[in-house]
Homo-oligomer: A and B are copies of this chain.
Amino acid sequence: VSRVAGVSVATVSKALNGATGVSDDARSRVLEAAERLDYRPSRSAQALAGRRTHLIGYCLPEPGRWGNPTLDAFLHAMVASSALHNLEVVVFSAHATDGLTPYRDLIRRGAVDGFLLSETDYHDRRIEYLAELGFPFASFGRTDDTDGYSWVDVDGGVGCAAAVEHLASQGHRTLAMLAWPQPSEVGDARVAGFLEAVKRHDLNEPVVVRSPNGIEQGRQAYGRVMSENRDVTAIVAVQDELALGAILEARARNVTVGADLAVVGFDDIPSASIVDPPLTSLRQPFHLIGGILVDMLVDQIAGITAPRGELLAPELVIRDSSRRSRT
């Protein structure tokens, strides 16, 4: 390229990287030559000389017992956003390690510029480790200490409150919640949002039933709700499988879901939209989350901005399972 443009390789490098201190004339000649030659700089050489790999690491969540319905959307969001910044995503696994080792190795080998974390819980050792090291990262999920690093999280309480609001507007007065067994940080936040909204809207005393995930579990949970209080006409579930179970059990009991019983789930898993009636559910905005995470990470890598946190509301996707009149 430098030969074709008639300048030195140093000038080519500066021009291509948009650096300052290059005449417009030289710049345009370089750009033209690069275009004509369809030049692509070598990633390896750039990485070694520039001390930037243009790679970011993402550790896959442990494979779910039931698969991971959200990985697809999340990965696509991160990859698409990364591409905008000329970054690529390298995935790895922490399976059969202490969870920190793969991060440490990638850092020591200079294999990535930063990390994207997910499945972060309140006592996540990775946060502490990376923050202390000062290595760039951004996390989906936060620890109990939300300072000193960049994170994005989804406010389950706000989501469940929105569900209650929606149900109240449909005229429901007696609600139930299918929750997870305690303690569950994520689950308890959702229940808290539910209870707060019930109180705020001055609804009847709600029923809270606790159960692990699962469609069968949801069926049983529905039965327990009804045996506790026959007046319940609307159910909010902490997770979609429980909600699906409730729908199936209600149908088996000849209850018309939608008209006689409203059901709202959480996560908008694939099955949610293909059950009959389709399930109203709280969807985490993965596309947004992926974009924000990558932006945060880019800022951390550039080192120009302080870390920041962002709390998003899930989106209530209203379908027929919570609509009185099925249009």
Interface residues of A (CB under 8 A from B): 38, 40-45, 47-48, 53, 55, 60, 63-64, 66-73, 75-76, 79-80, 83, 88-93, 95, 105, 108-111, 214-216, 241, 269-271, 273-276
B92 and A83 within 8 A (CB): yes
CB distance from A252 to the nearest CB of B (A): 8
CB distance from A62 to the nearest CB of B (A): 9
A247 to B63, CA, bound (A): 27
Given contacts A69-B67, A71-B72, A93-B83, contact A274 B43 (CB under 8 A): no
CB distance from A239 to the nearest CB of B (A): 12
A68: B residues at CB distance < 8 A: 71-72
Given contacts A91-B91, A109-B42, contact A60 B79 (CB under 8 A): yes
B69 and A95 within 8 A (CB): no
Contacting residue for A47 out of B44, B71, B91, B275, CB 8 A:
B44
Oligomeric state, in copies: 2
A53 and B64 within 8 A (CB): no
A45 to B44, CA, bound (A): 7
A73: B residues at CB distance < 8 A: 63, 67
A71: B residues at CB distance < 8 A: 68, 71-72, 75
- Which of chain B's residues has its CB closest to A252's CB? B251
A89: B residues at CB distance < 8 A: 90-92
CB distance from A53 to the nearest CB of B (A): 6
B95 and A111 within 8 A (CB): no
B88 and A270 within 8 A (CB): no
CB distance from A291 to the nearest CB of B (A): 14
A40 and B75 within 8 A (CB): no
Pull 28 A–B residue pairs with CB atoms less than 8 Å apart, ordered by A: A40-B108, A42-B109, A43-B47, A43-B53, A43-B110, A44-B48, A47-B48, A48-B48, A63-B72, A63-B73, A64-B72, A66-B270, A67-B73, A67-B270, A68-B71, A68-B72, A69-B69, A69-B270, A71-B71, A71-B72, A83-B92, A83-B93, A88-B111, A89-B92, A90-B91, A214-B274, A216-B274, A216-B276
- In the complex, the 9 A-B pairs of residues with the closest C-beta atoms, listed nearest first: A44-B47, A66-B270, A67-B270, A68-B72, A40-B108, A44-B48, A43-B111, A90-B90, A40-B109
B66 and A273 within 8 A (CB): yes
CB distance from A309 to the nearest CB of B (A): 26
Among A88, A110, A241, find the residue whose CB has the most chain B CB atoms closer than 10 A: A88
Contacting residue for A93 out of B41, B42, B80, CB 8 A:
B80
